[in-house]
């Protein structure tokens, strides 16, 4: 079982719709969760981080964390064609893991104009 799993996609949504990206992780003691966006040919850029159960909103982005289900998601409201990219979920395991952040393989998102 992979430590951080994401559906590779592609996930295709029409412009203006809500895009929902999902991620599961295996280490129940994980403490920190991150979403990065990576455009083709570019390096990842941080979108959001979340530490506590529940929702965290930043503009059009909402991160949702459910530690009991070992699940973290990213919602993108009013999706724009410029949101088309690969979204990487990253998890920092429990302190026993030595703070090494584990990245998922990413979900490709296409927003159709």
- Shortest spacing between CB 1 and another protein, in angstroms: 16
Instruction: Choose between 14 and 99: whose C-beta lies nearer to another protein.
Output: 99
- Decide: is 23 part of the binding site for another protein (CB under 8 A): no
Question: DSSP letter at 28?
Answer: T
Contact 6, 106 (CB under 8 A): yes
Interaction with another protein in 49-68: which residues (CB under 8 A)? Answer: 49
3-state secondary structure of 95: helix
Q: How far apart are CA 5 and CA 103, in angstroms?
A: 9
- Decide: is 101 part of the binding site for another protein (CB under 8 A): yes
- Shortest spacing between CB 93 and another protein, in angstroms: 10
- Shortest spacing between CB 62 and another protein, in angstroms: 18
Q: How far apart are CA 100 and CA 113, in angstroms?
A: 38
Q: How far apart are CA 29 and CA 57, in angstroms?
A: 23
- Decide: is 89 part of the binding site for another protein (CB under 8 A): no
Contact 22, 71 (CB under 8 A): yes
Binding site for another protein (CB under 8 A): 31-32, 34, 36, 42-46, 49, 88, 90, 92, 99-101, 103-106
């Amino acid at each position: 079982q992979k430590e951080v799993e994401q559906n590779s996609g592609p996930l295709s949504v029409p412009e203006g719709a809500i895009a929902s990206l999902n991620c599961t992780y295996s280490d129940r003691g994980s403490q920190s969760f991150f979403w990065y966006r990576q455009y083709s040919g570019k390096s990842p850029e941080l979108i959001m981080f979340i530490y506590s159960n529940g929702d965290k909103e930043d503009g059009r982005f909402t991160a949702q964390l459910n530690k009991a289900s070992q699940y973290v998601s990213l919602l993108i409201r009013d999706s724009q064609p410029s949101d088309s990219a690969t979204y990487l979920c990253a998890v920092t395991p429990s302190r026993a893991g030595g703070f090494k952040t584990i990245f998922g393989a990413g979900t490709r998102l296409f927003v159709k104009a």
